[in-house]
């Protein structure tokens, strides 16, 4: 299974995928890694692993027209690598309906909460503020909404009394890495079927 991974930060989820492939635990190939953040940690991890990379920065305060153009440029870069699946792994940008239509393969995303609870960019903070005792992580298919696509798998993480955003997020990320690799393995082996979603 040919995978393009999109990252914005340190790339710990990407590293879990790379390690699983190298260990023979995931029948897949990461054919490219792309980012909106030049020289981020995820890009560096990919380069160390000999994986082709590309960068499509989005200017701060971009207009609607610039965002449309950026989504088109990102789709063009992804399509050059002929993926069967796109993985948004800590990619902090919303992918447009047009992007999903252009790439024409399933896109999956990881999210640090048990969707549909706590969607958006501040899920860990929001879970703590709500006082929940259990949160977790979700792997879901991406649609044109924000964290609204079909849920594929989830893992629960208990909130400890002394947790802050950093400590809780670190435990969630540990579960997230395991869950993402499990889902990708299931997809590659045909145990989970994904579909191209309408925008």
Does the annotation mark 195 as catalytic? no
Q: Which of 111, 140, 158, 169 is catalytic?
A: 111
How many angstroms from the chain centroid is the CA of residue 90? 5
First vs last C-alpha separation in the chain: 23
Q: Are 74 and 56 in contact (CB under 8 A)?
A: yes
- DSSP annotation string for 6-53: EESSS-HHHHHHHHHHHTTSS--EEEEEEESSTT-HHHHHHHHTT--E
Q: Could you give the residue ranges of the DSSP H alpha helices within the chain?
A: 12-22, 41-48, 64-79, 97-103, 123-130, 165-188
- Catalytically active residues, by annotation: 111
């Amino acid at each position: 299974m040919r995978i393009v991974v999109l990252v914005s930060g340190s790339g710990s989820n990407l590293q879990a995928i790379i390690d699983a492939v190298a260990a023979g635990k995931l029948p897949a190939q990461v054919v490219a890694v792309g980012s909106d953040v030049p020289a981020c940690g995820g890009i560096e991890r990919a380069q160390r692993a000999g994986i082709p990379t590309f960068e499509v920065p989005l200017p701060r305060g971009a207009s609607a027209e610039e965002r449309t153009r950026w989504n088109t440029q990102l789709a063009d870069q992804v399509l050059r690598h002929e993926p069967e699946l796109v993985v948004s792994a800590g990619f902090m940008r919303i992918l447009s309906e047009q992007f999903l239509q252009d790439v024409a393969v399933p896109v999956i995303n990881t999210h640090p909460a048990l969707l549909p609870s706590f969607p958006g960019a501040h899920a860990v903070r929001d879970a703590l503020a709500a006082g929940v005792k259990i949160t977790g992580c979700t792997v879901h298919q991406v649609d044109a909404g924000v964290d609204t696509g079909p849920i594929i798998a989830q893992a629960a993480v208990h909130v400890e009394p002394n947790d802050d955003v950093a400590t809780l997020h670190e435990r969630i990320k540990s579960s997230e890495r395991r869950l993402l690799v499990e889902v990708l393995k299931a997809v590659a082996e045909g145990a989970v079927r994904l579909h191209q979603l309408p925008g």
